[in-house]
Chain A
Amino acid sequence: EDKVVQSPLSLVVHEGDTVTLNCSYEVTNFRSLLWYKQEKKAPTFLFMLTSSGIEKKSGRLSSILDKKELFSILNITATQTGDSAIYLCAVLNAGNNRKLIWGLGTSLAVNP
Chain B
Amino acid sequence: DGGITQSPKYLFRKEGQNVTLSCEQNLNHDAMYWYRQDPGQGLRLIYYSQIVNDFQKGDIAEGYSVSREKKESFPLTVTSAQKNPTAFYLCASSIARNSNQPQHFGDGTRLSIL
Contact = CB atoms under 8 A, between A and B. Distances in A.
Given A4-B42, A42-B90, A99 B58 contact: yes
Contact of A44 (B40, B45, B105): B105
Interface in B54-87: 58
B41 A45 contact: no
A10 to B, nearest CB: 11
Nearest to B104: A45
Chain A at the B interface: SS class: strand
B42 A104 contact: yes
Contacts of A90: 43
A42 B93 CA distance: 12
Contacts of B98: 98
A88 B45 contact: no
Contacts of B107: 41-42
Contacts of A92: 100
Given A92-B100, A99-B58, A43 B42 contact: no
Contact of B42 (A32, A44, A103): A103
B8 interface: no
Contact of A34 (B4, B40, B90, B102): B102
Contacts of A103: 42
Closest CB pairs A-B (n = 7):
A102-B42, A42-B105, A41-B107, A102-B43, A45-B102, A42-B107, A43-B105
23 contacts: A31-B100, A32-B100, A36-B105, A41-B107, A42-B4, A42-B90, A42-B105, A42-B106, A43-B105, A45-B102, A48-B100, A48-B102, A88-B42, A88-B43, A92-B100, A98-B98, A100-B103, A102-B42, A102-B43, A103-B42, A104-B41, A104-B42, A105-B42
Interface of B: 4, 40-45, 48, 58, 90, 97-98, 100, 102-108
